[in-house]
Amino acid sequence: MTTQGNVKGLDELGNQVLWSSLGQQVMMQWEKNYMHVTVDALRILSTDRVLEIGFGLAYSASHIQSFKPKSHTIIECDQETLQRAREFADVHEGVKIVSGVWQQTLHTLDTFDCVFFDDYPLPELLTDSVDFSRSCNRQRYVAICIEMC
């Protein structure tokens, strides 16, 4: 599954923003420093295999690449953002782009030493058959990882 609604644009101050199909801000330029600090907390080594869930405006991906990891796999579900992620992969060694949502693609991937997950809820994925109202995406991610062990 992929979505087709994200649009890269500018806010009223001229800063980069990623907008969802519903007109919500998915990622904003002020988050860049936050992304760098959270990536730093992973303490990525050149021998690490890194999984990143979501590409956004490439703030975290660019910083992950500054550590020159052995591999860097990015799962992205938005068509417009996928195109930018593929362009990013073309100029960065060891970057692999996986199209789809992590809930459906994670089980097809190898193991990783580090995982960077800055989630954003996608209304397109909400269903009546599953009640996730009391859990966040990180909790669902951990539950799926435990099932795979």
Please tell me the distance from the alpha carbon of residue 60 to that of residue 80, in angstroms, as a whole number. 18
**Torsions phi, psi for 85 (to 5 deg):** -65, -40
Would you state the pLDDT for residue 130? 47
- pLDDT tens per residue, the chain (149 residues)? 445 566 666 666 676 666 666 666 666 667 788 889 989 999 999 999 999 999 988 989 999 999 999 999 999 988 888 999 999 999 999 999 999 988 899 999 999 999 998 765 555 544 544 444 445 555 665 666 656 54
DSSP three-state, residue 102:
helix
Delimit the domains of the chain by residue range: 32-148
Closest CA relative to residue 71, chosen from 46, 91, 105, 90: 46
Q: What is the CATH number of domain 32-148?
A: 3.40.50.150
DSSP three-state, residue 115:
strand
Would you state the pLDDT for residue 14? 72
